[in-house]
Amino acid sequence: MILNIQQYLSNIGLILVTILAFIVIIGIVVLIHELGHFIFAKKANILCHEFSIGMGPVLFQKKKGETIYSIRAIPIGGYVSMADGSYTDVLLNGVEELGLNLENSFVKEIVLDPSLECDVRGKLLSYDLYGENSDFFVELEVDGIKQYYNVLKTAEFVQKNNKRIQLSTYERSFESKTLLQRFLTIFAGPVMNFILALLLYIILGWAVGVADYSSSHIGSVSNGYPASGILQAGDEIKSVDGKEVENWQEFSVIMDEYKLEYKQEIEITFIRDNKILTETLYPSFIFNNVGVSSLGAPVDDANVLGVQLGITAGSVLDLGMSKDDILVQITVDNVNHDIYSWEDIASILSNIDIENVTFTFYKKGEDKKSKIIVESYGDILLNSQQVTKYQYLIGISPETKFSFIGGIKNGFTSFTNMFTSIGKTIGLLFGIGDGGIRQVGIGDLAGPIGIFDMIKSYVQAGLLTLISFTAMLSVNLGLLNLLPIPALDGGRIIFLIYELITGKRVNKKVEETLTNIMFILLMILFIYVAFNDTLRMFG
């Protein structure tokens, strides 16, 4: 009972830390994105009414200068509200009576709160507070008489609780600016996400260090892998199966050769505490294309039909095949292959692309055979995710050392790899993959719930893992926003390209209609993804 309570309290702590990490990570990524829009809008002298992190009800709000800075309750987005022609129409929609405060016969305040005292109050007849084609004016009916009032460009709307919003004029609007200014204002959001990701990857490069391939010393040993409990950090590898090793490159060459030979047993000689030791290791075979591995499985008995599986993942796990099951046969292209060793498995699974693979196996403790059919992941998809189809590992890594330049280089490499990986994945989402088969679909997308679930696992892995995830998420947000879809930054850029080519702007009503339609479709997609995330999260 006490253990159950401790576990419960431990889970509560994990959830609370995950919630905090989720808010911080999403907040940083969104803040940087919106900050890009905001900075270039300010440089273009565009009036920004509000800079908001989060959506929904206001938690905190402060006005500085002409902009209101807000933190809102739902941490899944943000926005910069820029001046445009519709802003005033939204404020005055449904308003019948209006109050005015004057300064030298000019309107300096437009009072929307009917409870506030003002210099003039009357029925609203007409107005032009945008100033694209005329002077600023408000026409009221005061005591049965039409009155025409000129309005200052710097006038403010006064709402309840004395909330003030500056007039949204044409000359300070987004649409009044040059094509280049508008492009930079839109494009700056995604670019800031890329800059954030690059900086985080450089920080990781400095924190993790650069691999020292000039020696054969072991830097770390991964738990759960064959070397765990046998080799230690600081050990110096001297030979593999009698082949001398002087540095990590030579060791890697030998392991690459063994990978192609499907070698199941290796003998490593190493130095520890000035003593020469020799141990036998059994490398793990990991097949990410189908989700089976020997990781955590016992050593095979030669020439006995069937191999006990190690850790399984993906489709095979979903279809009922799991660790410790006995795999006895693999069928590919209607050809049956009896399984006696991991060498047999490797010779089959390491050479397939997209195939329907049939696994025949015994569930642990059962005498009845089971069968499942799994579609293997294709090479294009795996390459887009920078995932190796077939891995041959003992779970050791070289020593690392701090390098200022090396950390920067590794940061750029990590950013480039992630940018390419996500870009290819998005391409696969909208296109067809290997063999005319779509292997990435809408069902594979993750929304806020899915991101929360991922952060929950990353929290336990440590700060560096969370930083890496934040960088990946920032690249993701930047690229997704560049998709040529109305309601996203990419869609607005497409409108600008149309204007550049034709010399004409897209009809405003057409643009608004397309944007609204796509926004509704994106909200439907958001709900669908959230539903799928919930199903995955709770099993």
The tens digit of pLDDT for each residue in 329-361 reads 999 989 999 999 999 999 999 988 888 899 999
Identical topology for domains 210-283 and 290-376: yes
pLDDT value at 195 more than 70: yes
Average pLDDT for residues 5-13, to the nearest whole number?
A: 56
| Helix, strand, or coil (residue 158) | strand
The tokens for 466 are 């969370």
- Selection from 156-160, 279-283, 510-514 with the highest mean pLDDT: 279-283
pLDDT value at 437 more than 60: no
Q: Domain residue spans in the chain?
A: 1-48+175-209+402-539, 95-172, 210-283, 290-376
Q: What is the pLDDT of the chain when averaged over all its residues?
A: 88
Instruction: Tell me how far CA of residue 404 lies from CA of 220, 391, 411, 412, 415, in angstroms.
Output: 21, 31, 11, 13, 17
* Alpha carbon distance 51, 54 (integer Å): 10
At 443 the pLDDT is: 56
At 6 the pLDDT is: 47
User: Which band of pLDDT confidence, cut at 50, 70 and 90, is reported for residue 317?
Assistant: confident
Element (H, E) at 78: strand 67-82
pLDDT value at 450 more than 70: no
Task: In the chain, count H helices and then E strands.
Answer: 12, 24
Nearest to 356 by CA among 338, 374, 372, 329: 374
The tens digit of pLDDT for each residue in 101-147 reads 999 999 999 999 999 999 999 999 999 999 888 789 999 999 999 99
Parallel, antiparallel, or unpaired: how do β-strands 120-128 and 106-111 relate? unpaired
- pTM, two decimals, is 0.83
Average pLDDT for residues 245-270, to the nearest whole number?
A: 95
At 228 the pLDDT is: 94
Average pLDDT for residues 455-467, to the nearest whole number?
A: 80
* Fold for the domain defined by 290-376: Pdz3 Domain (2.30.42)
Residues 416, 418, 424, 427: what is their CA dihedral angle, to the nearest 10 degrees? -110
The tens digit of pLDDT for each residue in 474-533 reads 999 999 999 999 989 999 999 999 999 999 999 888 888 888 898 888 888 778 777 776
The tokens for 273 are 């505490």
pLDDT value at 416 more than 90: yes
Which superfamily, per CATH, for 210-283?
Answer: PDZ domain (2.30.42.10)
The string of DSSP codes covering 233-280 is TT-EEEEETTEE--SHHHHHHHHHHHHHHT---EEEEEEETTEEEEEE
User: Which band of pLDDT confidence, cut at 50, 70 and 90, is reported for residue 539?
Assistant: low
At 392 the pLDDT is: 95
User: Which band of pLDDT confidence, cut at 50, 70 and 90, is reported for residue 413?
Assistant: very high
At 434 the pLDDT is: 47
pLDDT value at 192 more than 90: yes
At 460 the pLDDT is: 72
Instruction: Tell me how far CA of residue 81 lies from CA of 68, 70, 111, in angstroms.
Output: 10, 11, 21
Percent of the chain having pLDDT more than 70?
91
pLDDT value at 431 more than 70: no
Average pLDDT for residues 188-217, to the nearest whole number?
A: 95
At 440 the pLDDT is: 56
Percent of the chain having pLDDT more than 90?
62
pLDDT value at 322 more than 60: yes
At 387 the pLDDT is: 80
